[in-house]
Amino acid sequence: MSFSEPRVLLHRLHALGGVIVAPLILIACITGIGYAAAPTAEKIVYHDLIHTPEHPDSTALPVEDQVKAAHTVYPDLPVAKVQVEEKPGLATRVLFKDDSLISSSYTRVVFVDPVDAHVQGSSVQYGSAAALPLRSWISEGHKRLWLGPAGRWYSELAASWLGALTLVGIFLWWQRTRDRRGRNASTASALSLRARRRKLHTQLGLWLTLVMLFFTATGLTWSRVAGSNVANLRKKLDWIAPNPSGVSSSATGPFPVDGHDGQAAIDLARAEGLTGRLEIRPPASEQTVWLVQEARQEFRMGKDSLAIAMHNGHAHVVDSVSFSEWPFPAKLAEWLINAHMGILFGWPNQLLLALATVGIMVVIVHGYLMWFMRSRAPRPAKWTKIPRSAQVIIVVAIVVYSLVAPLFGISLVAFLLAQWIYGVFKKRRHARDSQSAPAGGVASRR
């Protein structure tokens, strides 16, 4: 098949790419259902760690006392940060840096009752969403298929091709709608079974277009190659979340347990309007200010942060960054990522993710059924020519997208090259069989 006509190229991209890459997308969907349900499942599995006994008419101890209690569990590890809750009945999380863990994104966490400093237990926490082992394990499966760093190629291929297949599918649907005008009834009847498959595949795909593009955009943000390209672009365009001046977003020093500087910083942050779970980081060795910020939480659209310094036992704000001051692309990235993790709108968010994922799986299954039925279907009517300007736009779009998501471009070239080699081999074999066939007859079969 010649690829000189862009319509042919797009059709082969959608069909061949869909058949070959669809298993990866299907795996991402299966693990994605568990990923969507993980935040709720985590609350059930780790209920006794997260929640504390009721203490009527009791107040929380200074955070330094809670950190001191947590140090009895890991006396040789430095405290990376502390997460304190505003709502009663929830444990304070004291997080310790441990270089023996898989990566710097993982920390040891000790759960402390803020009222009596009782240690309720310890675990390992992952990422800014405060994921505990169950959610971390499910996340590893969704992102890496439990294969370590090499597994990230699977998720990046799945995410990059999902978006490409979606956009190409929309274009082919639009072109097919134009081509269908004037098609006779007998052809439509002959295609009835396959047409029903295509109808469901197309209509459900159209309904899920925004969801699939959402999965692509957020999935590529976390990928290895495309994610680095996106991150570098965001830095150059200043589309990243700002930090208060005078603090580091990652470097921290030892949490002082003598005195009440940490508690003073928390009290000031509450007075300045910070709500919910607060994350407090002690000053790094070269700094003198604390970083206090609102942590990622369900039903929260943004997070504010403060840089707080101590002077003669009194806390004062050095700098503040409100979520309203973030660049809009940084806000959008925060919302989309939280939605992908299922924590933006709590369990309704998780339910919608699961339903959408099931819908994508149905689209894939019907795509396969259409592929297996293709040999019994009549050849389609002649395709409408694509204007030259549209052809240029299509080619440029494929090239630009391949630069952003190189794994898509590399795999596309590999697919088309394999298709071309197969076509050449098939043509030569046909020519050889024709030459060896007896005159006026059919070549004998062995």
Q: What is the pLDDT of residue 243?
A: 86
Q: What is the pLDDT of residues 308-340, one digit of tens each?
A: 988 777 889 999 999 999 999 999 999 999 999
When the pLDDT of each residue in the chain is averaged and rounded to a whole number, the result is: 84
Q: What is the pLDDT of residues 252-311, one digit of tens each?
A: 667 877 778 889 999 999 999 999 999 998 887 656 788 999 999 888 888 999 999 887
Distances in whole angstroms, Cα of residue 298 to Cα of each of 313, 341, 364, 429: 34, 10, 31, 62
Q: What is the pLDDT of residue 438?
A: 63
Q: How confident is the model at residue 190 (pLDDT cuts 50, 70, 90)?
A: very low
Instruction: Annotate 312-323 with three-state secondary structure.
Output: CCEEEEEEEECH
Q: How confident is the model at residue 378 (pLDDT cuts 50, 70, 90)?
A: very low
Higher-pLDDT residue of 142, 11 = 142
pLDDT exceeds cutoff 70 at 183:
no
Instruction: Give the separation between CA 354 and CA 359, rounded to whole angstroms.
Output: 9
83, 130 in Cβ contact below 8 A?
yes
Q: What is the pLDDT of residue 192?
A: 64
Q: How far is CA 182 from the centre of its chain?
A: 43
Is the model's pTM score more than 0.85? no
Q: Locate 424 and state its tokens.
A: 């050449």
Higher-pLDDT residue of 104, 138 = 138
Q: What is the pLDDT of residue 445?
A: 45
Q: How many residues does the chain have?
A: 446
